[in-house]
Amino acid sequence: MKILIVFGTRPEAIKMAPLYHELCQSELSLFQSYQGVEDSKNKFEVKVCVTAQHRKMLDQVLDFFEIVPDYDLNLMQPNQTLNGLSANILLKMDEVLIQEKPDLVLVHGDTTTSSMVALAAFHLGIKVGHVEAGLRTFNKHAPFPEEINRQITSRIADIHFTPTEQANRNLLKEGILQKNIVETGNTGIDALFWTLNKMETKNYTNPEIEQLKNSLPTNKKIVLVTGHRRENFGEGFQNLCQALLKISEREDVVIIYPVHLNPNVKEIVYELLSNKVNIQLIPPVSYPTFVWLMQQSYLIVSDSGGIQEEAPSLGKPVLVTRNVSERPEGVAAGFSTIVGTDKNEIIKNIQDIMDNFEGFGLQKNPYGDGNASRKIIEYLLNQA
């Protein structure tokens, strides 16, 4: 079976990396082989194509996860519109698909890359597998444009690899046949464990982490903050910053904020939070460095979907600065709390966790146990 894996952003790359390594059974991979797959090496021919919808942040992940793409479309352009990006992906993927003629194209999640690559494959009669399928908010404007990207991909995909039972139900309600749905857990948890294992090896060094170790106070609780959602541009980020200013008045807290490079985020954050006591604004960090920061944190405040999935495995509570989340399982289990971008709501919830949080006990991460890639391959082996 000839498989083409396509992704374009940092989150996609992180979550597809463990699946790529499992498929390749690369000798350089740190993944352990498992019973029943040792004989699969000759059953898959795997190629990787990146659209580079995110360039610099994508390259960091490719390097860390030891992935060399067979095709790099390098489509990132300054101030690129969604329509311009979509058109370029369709045009360039046409060339790749015609040349490679894969049996199956694997796309991930909810990006413009995933939906447009799926459409390009459909136009050529090529089967599509959707990894992390079935997530929904049922609000086409939140997250924008990701919610519609997911729904478009679901209408096209032939195989739906879902992370949770709720995702299964979402697809079934939309008329997707049960036989085409495969619940696997989320490959993002595979990537998290892969990263933790690699960071614990004797030869691993990370100057970025060493620098942070020297700058972070050891006697304060770390509040780790991220933000990038389009729906929060403007007033949403202003409210978040005002809430963080209030929290920074606590003597037992330090706020660490790797600031997204998008000018709609960066300009507001630096204007309101620069040179403030107990607030450290830093440039975006590499994935392993961010995993390390999550480990050190007491609380995470974020609008990221991936963090909502990863944090439970690290025992860290998350305040979600969105009004709705396509990841309700973490909320239902108590790992995440949706607070929106209301200043007072953010302050109240941060204060409550800082003063009263006692851990999650033995609760399991609802997004998986690190075996999602294995389950996907077991399914594909039965189809090969």
Task: Give pLDDT tens digits for 315-346.
Answer: 999 999 999 999 999 999 999 999 999 999 99
Q: How is 26-40 classified by DSSP, letter by letter?
A: -TT--PPP-TTTGGG
- Catalytic positions: 110, 132, 146, 228, 230, 260
What tens digit of pLDDT does each residue of 149-205 get?
999 999 999 999 999 999 999 999 999 999 999 999 999 999 999 999 999 998 999
pLDDT for residue 33 = 43
* Residue closest to 284 by CA, chosen among 300, 296, 266: 266
CA distances from 377 to 156, 183, 296, 317 (A): 21, 12, 33, 32
Residue 204 maps to a domain: no
User: In this structure, are 7 and 142 located in the same domain?
Assistant: yes
Q: Where are the beta strands (DSSP E) in 141-298?
A: 159-162, 181-183, 221-225, 253-258, 279-282
Contact 302, 320 (CB under 8 A): yes
Say yes or no to pLDDT of 229 above 90: no
User: In this structure, are 173 and 78 located in the same domain?
Assistant: yes
Q: How many CB atoms lie within 10 A of CB 72?
A: 16
pLDDT for residue 53 = 83
Residue with tokens 């190629």: 47
Contacts of 359-363 with CB under 8 Å at 24 or more apart are: 359/315, 360/312, 360/315, 360/317, 360/334, 360/335, 363/312, 363/333, 363/334, 363/335
pLDDT for residue 226 = 96
Residue 202 maps to a domain: no
User: In this structure, are 379 and 344 located in the same domain?
Assistant: no
User: In this structure, are 373 and 346 located in the same domain?
Assistant: no
User: In this structure, are 168 and 25 located in the same domain?
Assistant: yes
What tens digit of pLDDT does each residue of 42-68 get?
588 999 999 998 787 789 999 999 999
Domains in the chain, number: 2
Q: How many CB atoms lie within 10 A of CB 97?
A: 21
User: In this structure, are 186 and 221 located in the same domain?
Assistant: no
User: In this structure, are 19 and 143 located in the same domain?
Assistant: yes
User: In this structure, are 267 and 331 located in the same domain?
Assistant: yes
Whether residue 145 is preceded by a cis peptide bond, meaning omega within 30 degrees of 0, is yes
What tens digit of pLDDT does each residue of 252-308 get?
999 999 998 888 899 999 999 999 999 999 999 999 999 999 999 999 999 999 999
Counting residues of the chain whose pLDDT is more than 90, the rounded percentage is 85
Q: Where are the beta strands (DSSP E) in 285-359?
A: 299-302, 318-320, 336-338
User: In this structure, are 146 and 43 located in the same domain?
Assistant: yes
User: In this structure, are 28 and 140 located in the same domain?
Assistant: yes
pLDDT for residue 95 = 97
Say yes or no to pLDDT of 79 above 50: yes
Here the CATH number for the domain that contains residue 253 is 3.40.50.2000
pLDDT for residue 384 = 65
Stretch among 8-22, 52-66, 195-209, 350-364 having the lowest mean pLDDT: 52-66
Sign of the torsion formed by the C-alpha atoms of 354, 355, 360 and 366: negative
pLDDT for residue 40 = 46
Residue-number span of the structural domain to which 322 is assigned? 217-356
What tens digit of pLDDT does each residue of 108-160 get?
999 999 999 999 999 999 999 999 999 999 999 989 999 999 999 999 999 99
CA distance 238 to 272: 8
- pTM for the full model? 0.91
Strand, coil or helix: what is 319? strand
In the predicted model, what is the mean pLDDT of residues 68-94?
Answer: 94
Rg from Cα positions in the chain: 20
Beta bridge partners of 130: 107, 160
Mean pLDDT taken over the chain? 93
Residue 211 maps to a domain: no
CA distance 63 to 73: 17
Whether residue 143 is preceded by a cis peptide bond, meaning omega within 30 degrees of 0, is yes
Say yes or no to pLDDT of 29 above 60: no
User: In this structure, are 20 and 156 located in the same domain?
Assistant: yes
pLDDT for residue 220 = 96
